[in-house]
Amino acid sequence: MDWSDSAEQAAFRTKVQGVIDQMPDRYKAGEGDWERDRNNEDAGRREDARKWTESLAQEGWVAPHWPKEYGGAGLSPMEQFIFKMEMARADAPSVGGQGVSQLGPTLIVHGTEEQKAEHLPKILSGEVDWRQGYSEPGAGSDLASLQTRAIRDGDDYVINGQKIWTSLAHLADWLYVLARTDPDAPKHRGISFLLMDKHTPGISIRPLIDMSGRHHFNETFFEDVRVPASNRVGDENRGWYVGMTLLDFERSNITGAVSSRRTLDDLREYLKTSEGKQRAPGYAQNRLNVADRYIETDVMFNFSFRIISMQDRGLIPNYEASVSKLFNSEMNQKIALTGTRVFGLYGQIHDSADQRAPMKSKLTNQYLVSVSSTIAAGTSEIQRNIIATRGLGLPRG
């Protein structure tokens, strides 16, 4: 691996930094949230989302990994790595959500020309935000056990069932859903991939409040929801294979490495202030723990760089991506937990408005959020199984 930029990469990094410098002031202050801004009641927040979308769209960077013929930038893997690194360093919000990172690449591979023409431009413009309907109460890690049914009725499918953990579905416009179209087929078959307008009659979305008090997750119910058969992506009963395409082309997790280092930098700077010195007991073990977390962010960076170096050579990471995901999710938990322990009893204050709260309870709340990171996108147990069987060649069972 070559850790230094080539002349071309350095020029591209400078260009990315220049566009990021044009971000709205709220986003520069770390207050940006594109999903929540794009349709916000506050006109100023809507304008921030619009301006930032336009700034990225001018460079094709709303979807930097999409081919140019579909409105993306067609960036190389290393250029994608640099772009994401600089966006993470600036805490710049991405645009397009799962429509850009997941659904768009899937439509490019499996969609009809009509589906591409209808949906891809609206994803790039930020007009339509998409969310995923995969997990169910009885089908999480074993997703192929899903039971939501889609029965063909003329030119439509009629869908009944329930999804859970549908992140930000309350802010979305459309959903992409895996549903069982042949209940008698083996569980990885008999599944179809369907697109549906969230406002279709029969769809109801109910909030799930997590233990940090956030409304991020939802449970989604389908009661006799009629979806045109033309909204099926790929062949009937072959949706599992379509759904497995639905992965971000850039799998290095560089955003996690950079964001974690930024959190530790914020902690270090706060501890230098008079308020920080008052809030932290100053135990030697706390200093050692923070130092360990810094080292781990460097380890994470090198995991990320290994993956992107493989992709840049035309290789496809396999167990390496699982190593990166496992290390990153568990590192995030340890950083947040270390941060709360640095502040002793002050670290138990959850209310960010409390004057006694260190760093406005950032690390306390981050820990509560991070608990789910070892479950989402493949549990730590599943990642370890992949590493054991594919990476170490150990037998199953």
Say which residue the tokens 């009885």 belong to.
138
∠ Cα 312 302 396 (to 5°): 85
- For the question of residue 250 being annotated catalytic, the response is yes
Amino acid letter for position 285: Q
d(C-alpha 71, C-alpha 93), whole Å: 20
**Helix pair angle (362-370, 319-342), 10° resolution:** 140
| Among 79, 250, 296, 320, the one annotated catalytic | 250
Give the residue from 64, 81, 8 showing the smallest Cα distance to 304. 81
d(C-alpha 64, C-alpha 84), whole Å: 10
d(C-alpha 75, C-alpha 144), whole Å: 33
Q: Is 306 exposed, middle or buried, given 0-12, 13-18 or 19+ CB atoms closer than 10 A?
A: middle
Give the residue from 191, 189, 167 showing the smallest Cα distance to 178. 191
The string of DSSP letters for 38-81 reads TT-SSHHHHHHHHHHHHHHHTTTTTSTTS-GGGTS----HHHHH
Q: Give residue 204's Cα distance to chain centre.
A: 23
Contact 343, 290 (CB under 8 A): no
Q: List b or e across 83-109, with b for residues whose CB sees 16 or more CB atoms inside 10 angstroms.
A: bbbbbbbbbbbbbbbbbbbbbbbbbbe
- Give backbone dihedrals phi and psi of 128, rounded to 5 degrees, phi first: -125, 130
Give the residue from 110, 216, 90, 232 showing the smallest Cα distance to 165. 216
- Give backbone dihedrals phi and psi of 222, rounded to 5 degrees, phi first: -125, 120
Going by C-beta distance under 8 Å and a sequence separation of 6 or more, which residues neighbour residue 70? 63, 104, 108, 116, 120
CB half-sphere exposure, 90, CA atoms < 13 A: 23
Q: Which residues are catalytic?
A: 250
